[in-house]
Each structure stands twice: as structure tokens, then as C-alpha cells.
Structure 1
Amino acid sequence: MATRLTAAVIGAGYWGPNLARNFRASAEWDLAGICDLDVARARRVSDSIGGVAVTADLGDILADPTIDAVAIATPAHTHHRVALAALDAGKHVIVEKPVADTRERGIEMVDRARQNALVLMADHTYCYTPAVLKIRELIDEETLGQILFVDSVRINLGLIQPDVDVFWDLAPHDLSIMDFVLPGGLDVTSVAAHGSDPLDTGKACIGYLAMPLDRGGIAHVHVNWLSPTKIRQMVIGGTKRTLVWDDLNPQQRVSVYDRGVDLALQSKETADSRAANISYRLGDTWAPALPEREALAAVVAEFAAAIREGRPARTSGDAGLRVLSVLEAASASVRAFGAPRPVETLVPEVQGA
């Protein structure tokens, strides 16, 4: 494919305008149109980026043979229906988080994309930020050593969503980042979660989620719609160093601390760390220089590259499924008053898609 690809954006609400703006600005894409049931809203988005066609009929988009791909930015419960219709119409699909409202529907979407030899990409935007790309690089280089823990906080005084609880609204960001940066991805076997609804909204507004990691490590996610302060922070601790990502600190988003606990075994014959001498390491702190660029521009560029190269995107449908699997286990755990619940693995026919 030497020519530019053509896309349409489905949904002109919160995220659709950002997608439309980035597709319009990309050297890889032509933006053919914006589809929304509220035509006036779609027209406002169109006018803000210089003008493209608008429609309230999804069929207009899917029937257009010049459109190569669609970006879905509609409520989560509609993702499955819209994505399947687009895939059946021969369109590549990128869909905002969460990929679907249930794991079963997500599996069907991934399977359909594979059957039709089309790209299904999860819009895990944070994974394309310079900060998260640097975190992945540092972990791949074993700068942190073996990962011992991940502690993530995503809280703010935010909008209570009509169709999802706080876990499904906020935690996909943190889970997708863990899936992107951790060795082996989000490979967890069980989840324990507690949710609270102090405002009696009918859904959890505050949530805590914990997952065991490989080799005895643990990951913890705290999400909250009711906090008067906004925090976007992740701490990743390793055997060599600890990394802190503070997304709200543009001057120093990533800090690496050469501080931690050292276990000096008493003898070569003693493999039990409980018999070890514990010492504390207090070394330097440094912050890697990071470029400032909009992550969504990298998302649409990766979408084009995956289509042109006939490969899965870096945040593929499978990545979206891994996040969905954890979210469903978390919901089951909340219903069981915090008892751990197993994380379902991908079905064999989807693996390797």
C-alpha cells in the first residue's frame, strides 16, 4: 500500500473528537467521515478539524468501499455489535477501551478479525506515551531487575459513568500498561477485588484490585471516582531498582530509584531467603529525558503500520482480551465480597491470533 489509508470515526462524544483530530493530522490517513446518532454533535467535531462528511447511519460508512478502517468510540456495550458489523464489511477496526463489555464478546471480535484477515486493535493510548514506552524499555533491559510489585493509583473527582463501574472505567488504563510493560504481559491467574458504592449509584465508585505476579510478586490497582484530588501514579519495584511514573508531573514523569532491599544469603547452601541478612540500599535517583508528543498520534500511526505490514498491532485484540479477563474476574470477586476469583485464559483458537 503506497497510498494513504482512509478511516472513519464512529462516535463523536468524549473520545471520538480526539481520534478524528489525529486521523486528520496523520500523514498515513485520510479521514472520510464521522458517524454519530447526534448529527449536530458530529458536525461540530467535523467543523473543528476543517470539515469532513457526517452521518447518523453506520451503514453509510460500512457500505463505502473507499473506507479501509473505522475507529470505534461509542459506549462499551455497543463495541461488539459495531465492531462485528465493520469486520464483516471488510474494515480494519480500532476500538477504545474496554474492547468489549464482556470477555465472551471480546473473543468473538478477535476471532472474527482473524477469520477475515483484518486488524483489530485496542486503543490502549497510554501504552504509546513516551513515558510508558521508556518504562517498557527499562524493564526489557532489566534495569529494574526481577519485578517484585506494581502499585498503581488512578483517582479523581470524576464523572460517574452510566454503563460501567469504576473498575471498568479507570482500571483498563493501568491493566493495559501492565500488560504492555511487564515481561510476559498480564499473565495472572487470579484477582481479588473490593468495590464500594457509598453514594448508592448502583455501581462501584471506589475499587481496590490485587493480583499475584510471577515469582511471588504482586500488583495492586486503586481506582476512585470520588477523590477531591487527582492522582495518576504507578510504582514498579524490582530487585535492582524501583521506578515511579507520575503522569501529572510533566517535568519528571519517570524517576528511577537505586534504592531497595538487598538480601545477602548467609551461605551458598542456604537458598531460603528467610535465613538471609537484609540490608537497605540507598543509591542515586535519576529521571530519563522524555520527548513531549501526543500519544494518540502514535496510536493511529501504529494502526496504519499494522494494516500495511499485515501483523497484529502492538496493542492487539488479544491485549484487549487479557484486560477484559482481569476485569471480569475482578467483577466476580466484588460480587463474592473480595474472595479471589480465577482469571480465564484465552480460548485455544484465539491464541496466537
Structure 2
Amino acid sequence: MAERLSIAVVGAGYWGPNLARNFRASADWELAAVCDLDLARARQVAETVGGAPVTDSLDAVLRDRGIHAVAVATPARTHHPIVMAALAAGKHVIVEKPLADGFGRGEEMVDAAAERGLVLMTDHTYCYTPAALKIAELIAEDFLGEVLFIDSVRINLGLIQPDVDVFWDLAPHDLAILDFVLPGGLAPVSVSAHGADPLGTGKPCIGYLVIPLAGGAIAHVHVNWLSPTKIRQMVIGGTRRTLVWDDLNPQQRVSVYDRGVDLATRSRRRSDTHAARISYRLGDTWAPALPEREALSSVAAEFAAAIRERRRARTSGESGLRILSVLDAAAASLAAAGAPHPLALAGVEQDRRARAEREAVAG
């Protein structure tokens, strides 16, 4: 596919205009249509980005053989039927976060794309920021050493969503970033969640997630709709260095601190109270130079590359499914007063491994 690919944006609400603008500006894509039940809103978006056909019929979009892909920017509860219809019509799909409104429906979408050999990509936009790409590079190069902890804060005085709680609204960003930068992706066994609804809205407006990671590490995610201050910050502590990502500081989004605690010796005896000799490392601070570019332009380029190269996107449907597994477990933990809850994906992976082993023995 050397020529430009053709895409329709479905949904002209909050996120659809951003998708339409970036696909319209991309050298890889032709914006073939803006589709929304509100034609006036679709026309407004099309005019804003320089012109494109508009329609209120998803069926018309899916019947058009000249359209290679669909970008879904509709409420999460509608993702499953729209994506399944698009895949059945042979279209590649990119869908805004979260992938679906539940793990089971997300799994059906991922399986349907795999069966048809189509690309299903989750629009985890933050993963394509220069900062996230640099963090992933530093962790892959072992520059931070073994990850010990991650603290992530995403708080602001934000819109209280009518259909989802603060976990489903804000936490997918942080979870997607963790899935993107951690080697092997986000693969915890359990999740603990605590939430509060001090305004009586009927859903948590403040939330805390605790996620055990491999090797004894831990991740903590704080999300909040009620904070008068806006904070977008992530701290990743490693055995060699600690990294701080401050997304609201354009002059220095990423800082790396050569500071931490060194355990010089370790005893094999658990009864030994002097199991380690602790020293504190106080070194330099380094801020890598990062380009300033819109992450969605990189999202559009990655979607096109995945289709042309017949491969999974960097933020694939499977990545979106891992996030859904955490969110579903968080909802179950909330219902159990914060007790740790296992992830559905962990059970699915165990079943798949067991099935593969049985097939290997039978073969």
C-alpha cells in the first residue's frame, strides 16, 4: 500500500475533531468521511479541518470499499458494536480509550480482528508523546536499572462524567503509559482500588489504585476530578536512577535523578536484622532534550505503518485489553471495600498457556 490510505472518523464530539484534524494533515491518510448522528456537528468538524464528506450513516461508511479504516471516537459503551461491525466489513480500526466498556467485550473485539487479519489499535495518545517514547527507551536500555516503584498522579478540577467513574475516565492514560514503558507490558496479578464520592454523585470522583508489579515492585495511581490544582506527574524509581515526568512543564518534561538508596550487602538469613548496609547516592540531575510535536500525528503514522507492514500497532488491541483487565479488577476491588482482586487477563493467559501445552503434548 504505497498510496495514501483512506479513513473515516466516526464521532464528531470531544475527541473526533482532533482525530479528523490529524488524519487530514497526515501524508499517510486521506480523510474520506466524518460520520456522526448529528450532521450539523459533522459538517462543522469537516469544515474546521479543511473539508471532507459527511454522513450520519455508519452503514454507508462500512459499505464503502474505498475506505480502508475507521477511527472510532464515540462513548465507550458504543465501541463494541461499532468496532465489531467495522471489522466484519473488513476495515482496520483505531478506537479511542478505553477500548471497550468491559473486558469481555474488548476480548471479542481483539479476537475478531485477529481472525480477520485486521489491525485493531487503541488510541493511547500519551504513549506517543516524545516524553513517553524517551522513558520507554531509557527503561529498555536499563538506564534506570530495575524498576522499584511507580507513583502516578492525574488530578484536576474536571468534568464529572455522566456514564463512567474517575477510574474509567482518567486512569486509562496512566495505565496505558505503564503498559507502554514497562518491559513486557503491564501484567499484574491483582489490583486494589479505593474510591470516594464526597459529593454524592453516585460514582467515585477520587480514586487510588495499587498495582503489584514483577520482582516486588509496586505502582500507585491517583486520579481525582475534584482537585483545584492540575497535576500530571509520574515518578519511576529504579535501582540506578529515578525519573520524573511532569507533563505540565514544557521546559523540562522529563528529569532523571542520579539519587537513591544503595544496598551494599545483603544477608541470606531472614533473622539477620542487619541484612543490608544502606548508603545514599546523591548525584546529578539530567534533563533530556525532547522535541515538541503533537502526539496524535505519531498515532496516525503508527496506524498506517501497522496496516502497511501487516503487524500489531505499538498500542494494539491487546494493549487496550490489558488496561480493561485492570479497570474491571479495580471495579471488583471497589465493590469488595478495596480487597485485592485478580485480573481476568491473568486467568485468560493461564488458560491459553495450558491449552498450548496440551496441544504440544498431543502433537
Q: TM-score under structure 2 normalisation? A: 0.94
Alpha-carbon distance in structure 2 between the residues aligned to 1:112 and 1:350:
17
Shift of 1:285: 0.3
Unaligned 5+ segments in structure 1 are none
Unaligned 5+ segments in structure 2 are 354-363
Alpha-carbon distance in structure 1 between the residues aligned to 2:167 and 2:317:
20
Shift of 1:150: 0.4
- Aligned-pair RMSD on alpha carbons? 1.5
Shift of 1:279: 1.1
Alignment CA distance shift 1:27-1:274 (3 Å):
farther
SS in 2 for 1:161: coil
Alpha-carbon distance in structure 2 between the residues aligned to 1:49 and 1:14:
15
What is the CA deviation profile of residues 7-30 of structure 1, one whole-angstrom value per residue up to 9, with x for unaligned ones? 000000110000000000000000
Q: How does 1:258-297 map to 2 (within 5 A)?
A: 258-265=258-265, 275-297=275-297
Alpha-carbon distance in structure 1 between the residues aligned to 2:107 and 2:345:
11
Shift of 1:130: 0.2
SS in 1 for 2:344: coil
Q: Contact 1:4–1:28 (CA<8 Å) still a contact in 2?
A: yes
What is the CA deviation profile of residues 156-212 of structure 1, one whole-angstrom value per residue up to 9, with x for unaligned ones? 000111111100000000000000001121010000000111111111110000011
**Matching of residue 162 in structure 1 with residue 162 in structure 2:** yes
> Match of 2:326?
326
> Match of 1:111?
111
What is the CA deviation profile of residues 30-53 of structure 1, one whole-angstrom value per residue up to 9, with x for unaligned ones? 000101111111111011011111
Alpha-carbon distance in structure 1 between the residues aligned to 2:345 and 2:307:
27
Q: Contact 1:152–1:233 (CA<8 Å) still a contact in 2?
A: yes
Shift of 1:133: 0.2
Alpha-carbon distance in structure 2 between the residues aligned to 1:78 and 1:273:
56
Q: TM-score under structure 1 normalisation? A: 0.97
**Matching of residue 129 in structure 1 with residue 116 in structure 2:** no
Q: Once structures 1 and 2 are overlaid, which stretch shifts more, 270-279 or 33-42?
A: 270-279
Following superposition, which runs of at least 4 residues in structure 1 exceed 6 angstroms of deviation? 269-273
Alpha-carbon distance in structure 2 between the residues aligned to 1:180 and 1:278:
32
Tell me the matched-pair count.
350
Percent identity over the alignment is: 73
Alpha-carbon distance in structure 1 between the residues aligned to 2:340 and 2:288:
37
What is the CA deviation profile of residues 119-154 of structure 1, one whole-angstrom value per residue up to 9, with x for unaligned ones? 000000001000000000000010100000000000
Q: Once structures 1 and 2 are overlaid, which stretch shifts more, 4-13 or 342-351?
A: 342-351
Q: Contact 1:97–1:172 (CA<8 Å) still a contact in 2?
A: yes
Q: Contact 1:263–1:273 (CA<8 Å) still a contact in 2?
A: no
> Match of 1:49?
49
Q: Contact 1:265–1:273 (CA<8 Å) still a contact in 2?
A: no
**Matching of residue 33 in structure 1 with residue 33 in structure 2:** yes
Q: How does 1:6-85 map to 2 (within 5 A)?
A: 6-85=6-85
**Matching of residue 207 in structure 1 with residue 207 in structure 2:** yes
> Match of 1:149?
149
